[in-house]
Amino acid sequence: MYYLFAPRLLPLPGCRPKRNIGGVNVNRYDDRTTKKESSSVMTHKNSGNCHRWFFSTVFLIALSALGQEYSGNPLFDEVFTADPCALVYNDTLYVFTGHDEQTEWGNSFLMRDWYIFSTADMVHWTNHGAVLGVEDFSWASGNAFAGHVVEFNGKFWWYVSLTHESIKVGEGFGIGVAVADHPLGPYKDVTGEALITDHTPNSVTLNIDPAVYIDDGTPWLFWGSWGDARMVKLKTNMTELDGTVQTVNARDFFEAAWVHKKDDLYYLSYASGYPSTTKYSTSTSINGPWTYRGVINDLLPVSETNHQAIIEFRGNWYFIYHNSALPGGGVYRRSVCIDKLEYNEDGTIKKVVRTTTGVPALASTSLEKTIMYKTNNRSSDISSTGRAIITAPSYDLKNNHNGNYLIDLLGNSLKHAGTLSPGIYIRSKKRTLPVNTEEKYSDNSRP
């Protein structure tokens, strides 16, 4: 196993930090109107704002010479994040979060948009910025509460809970959905109206915290709060209900439903009580009945809410949650964390051991995820250190019998004018770039 190093990552001439500038949005919990501050898209641990890069030199060194890296907790310190959802796509883990914007002296949730973060190795995370906000839903008036993203039929569906601008019988929240062709978007409101509102038969007083699970090709939507849980089958277009709303009976349920499956057992985890712990129940059917199993995550210091995502990524199970551990953190200023999730032999879940170190780095399985050119609006998982862990059998890594190697970078298009000076052979789909030479490409002569 080797580390691949590119010790100098240089921005192309004229390349500027990519910034995400928002417009005027309604405050999510009170009636103030606040202009959204601009936020840079950067790489966690090491800033990587500029989205077009080239490598000057590449070296290989043995992994054994380096120590183990950990993610650290909280994961992100650029912004306050909460209510995580996780999705695996093409050897990359994507985490979708809410965004706490309340001041230290505020006494309510102030949430106006949702962020996306991604990683290929659990340690180097890319902050893709605020990708979706209240302004993207014409029917909504504020409060960008928890959401859930799921892949289905080649598209990515982001279900979100917001206050409805006109429908209010209970607390006036609705659940809508936006769709994209890639986990990073762009996302667009599919129907221009909410899927669940206070007018939906058998809905609950507070229609928030959507969670979608695809069971053998059938999508199911779970949601609920204030101790009431609901589920409904969705049509395969993902934008219409397919049947009546069912009541979910899960002991001590409060809010924040999440469904996953391991082997032949369904797991329904959820926040319990307020302040909340995380508890779970299991069933052999998506429709229940649900058997109570116990507590996964204890009460959190300071944070009254407890909202989880449970995901398997490259053979490891993870528990993603939030706390209030960042400087200046509090009940309304939370931060997403990650720790290991472990099972007993009988399938029950061990209580999560929360740490400040987080989880260890994983060896990357796809070089194209960590070494690639950032062009136009496409984003990669490159870190500003240029380092990626690789395993030789995972790549087309071949000795060319003169001391150099070939590494197949699938999809490396070089869609910009720049200079590449590799220290090893780097082969694109169309041709191989020779060692120790410089080749300049324009838009008319790229490989």
Question: Based on the number of CB atoms within 10 Å of its own CB, is 57 exposed (0-12), middle (13-18) or buried (19 or more)?
Answer: middle
* Model confidence at 430: pLDDT above 50: no
The answer for residues whose C-beta is within 8 angstroms of residue 60's C-beta and 6 or more apart is: 2, 3, 4, 5, 405, 424
Q: CA-CA distance, 337 to 161, in Å (whole number)? A: 22
Strands of 125-133's sheet in order across:
80-89, 92-100, 111-119, 125-133
* Model confidence at 45: pLDDT above 90: no
Lowest-pLDDT range of 57-71, 227-241, 306-320: 57-71
- Per residue in 277-295, pLDDT (tens digit) is 999 999 999 999 999 999 9
Q: Which helix (H) or strand (E) holds 367?
A: helix 367-370
* Model confidence at 421: pLDDT above 70: no
**What is the pLDDT confidence band of residue 32, given thresholds at 50, 70 and 90?**
very low
* Model confidence at 309: pLDDT above 60: yes
The reported pLDDT for the residue numbered 364 is 59
Q: How many CA atoms lie within 13 Å of 379's alpha carbon, on the beta-carbon side?
A: 26
| 425-427/405-408 β-pairing | parallel
How large is the average pLDDT for residues 23-38? 32
How large is the average pLDDT for residues 373-381? 36
**Residue 421 and residue 57 in contact, taking contact as beta carbons nearer than 8 Å:** yes
* Model confidence at 198: pLDDT above 80: yes
The reported pLDDT for the residue numbered 25 is 31
**Residue 333 and residue 362 in contact, taking contact as beta carbons nearer than 8 Å:** no
**Residue 191 and residue 136 in contact, taking contact as beta carbons nearer than 8 Å:** no
The reported pLDDT for the residue numbered 388 is 34
Q: If you average pLDDT over every residue of the chain, what do you get?
A: 76
**Residue 312 and residue 331 in contact, taking contact as beta carbons nearer than 8 Å:** no
Q: Which residues of 256-279 are buried (b: 16+ CB within 10 A; e: fewer)?
A: bbbbbeeeeebbbbbbbeeebbbb
- Per residue in 310-356, pLDDT (tens digit) is 999 999 999 999 999 999 999 999 999 999 999 999 999 999 999 99
Strands of 59-62's sheet in order across:
59-62, 2-5, 388-390
pTM, two decimals, is 0.72
Q: CA-CA distance, 340 to 362, in Å (whole number)? A: 13
The listed CATH number (3.40.50.2300, 3.40.980.10, 2.115.10.20, 3.40.1360.10) that belongs to domain 70-340 = 2.115.10.20
Long-range contacts of 31-35 (CB under 8 A, 24+ apart): 34/112
Going from N- to C-terminal start, the domains of the chain cover: 2-10+363-441, 70-340
Q: Distance of alpha carbon 94 from its chain centroid, rounded?
A: 3
**Residue 163 and residue 55 in contact, taking contact as beta carbons nearer than 8 Å:** no
Strands of 255-262's sheet in order across:
255-262, 265-272, 277-283, 291-297
- Per residue in 77-127, pLDDT (tens digit) is 999 999 999 999 999 999 999 999 999 999 999 999 999 999 999 999 999
**Residue 225 and residue 208 in contact, taking contact as beta carbons nearer than 8 Å:** yes
How large is the average pLDDT for residues 154-168? 98
Q: CA-CA distance, 97 to 81, in Å (whole number)? A: 6
Q: How many CA atoms lie within 13 Å of 117's alpha carbon, on the beta-carbon side?
A: 31
Closest listed residue to residue 114, CA positions, set 158, 171, 71, 157: 158
Both tokens of residue 287? 């429709």
Closest listed residue to residue 71, CA positions, set 350, 355, 297: 355
* Model confidence at 242: pLDDT above 50: yes
- Residue 49 is given by DSSP the state -
How large is the average pLDDT for residues 399-427? 35
How large is the average pLDDT for residues 178-193? 97
% of the chain with per-residue pLDDT over 90: 66
**Residue 23 and residue 36 in contact, taking contact as beta carbons nearer than 8 Å:** yes
